[in-house]
Amino acid sequence: METKRLVVVAVGGQGNLLASSVLGEAALLSGIPLHMSEIHGMAQRGGVVESALVFGDASSTIISDGEADILVGFEPAETLRAINKCNASTVVITNLAPLMPFTVNIGQGVYPDLKNLQELIRNKAAKLIAFNAADLAKEAGNVLAVNMVLLGALIQTGVLPLSEEDVKKAMKRKTKQQFLQSNLKAFDLGYSAAAETA
């Protein structure tokens, strides 16, 4: 089976680990071999969470620079920071709603211009799908569902060997019952947003 490598980057609290666990469950449901790992050292304290998911025939649970088939960033600056994981064939999906690092708030850094950021990524990767996932999460009735919006966009690209159906089944198993409806709606909104970009 062809190997597909997905890198997901997010800020602590954005639900990267839940999204990864949904993908893991979906892979299990579809019988796709999956190896994954995440580093979330001090993420609860505002740091970055990076997950690596390797689908198909491979043993590693880590993805080297330039080797991601698809990069999903839950936060625009974090997407840009992880651009070294990409090559010219990589598909990049990014949320466009920034979460200001406090270093910027106290004047120790400048947040990248969003237009310029998209331009840079578009020029380097095969394709960029960029939209405001926070707005879509709100529309779905759950501001915390940014992760599910991006999951929808991810599945729409068809890069991963996972069906929409299996991912939704996995969402039912892995996400809280009380949020399931809004999560499914968030997924659909993300799916459509990615389809429109295409």
Partner 1 sequence: MSQESDLYFEYSTNEKIAMEVAAAAANCGVRSMCVMKHVGVNVAADALMTLAYVGVKGGMVIVSADDPFMFSSQNEQDNRFYAKMSGLPMVEPSSVEEAKELVSYAFELSEKLNEPVLFRTTTRINHSTGIVTLGKIRERVTQGDFVKDPLNLVTVPAVARKLHVKLLEKYDKAQELAETSEYNFITGKGKWGIICNGVSYNYVRDAINDLNIEDKVKVLRMGFSHPLPAQRIKSFLKACEKVLMIEEGEPYMEEAVKAFAQEEGLTLEIKGKAKDLFSRLYEYDPGQVRKCIAKYFGFKYTPTEVVDTADVPPVPQRPPTLCAGCSHRATYYEIRKAAEGMQTIFPTDIGCYTLGLLPPLSTADFLLCMGSSVGTSGGFSKVTDKKVVAFIGDSTFFHAGIPGLVNAVYNNHNFTLVVLDNGTTAMTGHQPHPGVDMTQLKLEGYGRVSIEAVVKAIGVQYVTVIKPYKVKKSIEAIKEALNFQGVSVIISEEPCALYAKALKLPQRKPFRISEKCKDHRDCINHLACPAFYIWDEKVNIDPNLCTGCALCAQICPENAILPVKATA
Give residues in contact with partner 1 (CB under 8 A): 11, 20-21, 24, 28, 33-48, 57-67, 77-78, 80-81, 83-84, 86-88, 90, 100-106, 108-112, 116, 120, 124-125
Name which of 89 and 181 has its Cβ closer to partner 1. 89
**87 φψ region: left (φ > 0), alpha (ψ -120 to 50), beta (else):** beta
Name which of 73 and 152 has its Cβ closer to partner 1. 73
Q: Would you say 58 and 4 are in contact if contact means Cβ atoms under 8 Å apart? A: no
Residue 51 Cα to chain centre, angstroms = 9
Tokens 């991963």 correspond to: 160
To partner 1, the closest distance from the beta carbon of 120 in angstroms equals: 6
To partner 1, the closest distance from the beta carbon of 195 in angstroms equals: 25
Q: b/e string for 152-172 if b means 16 or more Cβ within 10 A?
A: bbbbbbebbbbeeebbbbbbe
Name which of 125 and 184 has its Cβ closer to partner 1. 125
Residue 159 Cα to chain centre, angstroms = 13
Residues 92, 186: Cα–Cα separation, whole Å: 19
User: Which of 40, 42, 41, 46 is CA-nearest to residue 75?
Assistant: 46
To partner 1, the closest distance from the beta carbon of 188 in angstroms equals: 25
To partner 1, the closest distance from the beta carbon of 115 in angstroms equals: 13
Name which of 74 and 191 has its Cβ closer to partner 1. 74
Name which of 93 and 184 has its Cβ closer to partner 1. 93
To partner 1, the closest distance from the beta carbon of 49 in angstroms equals: 11
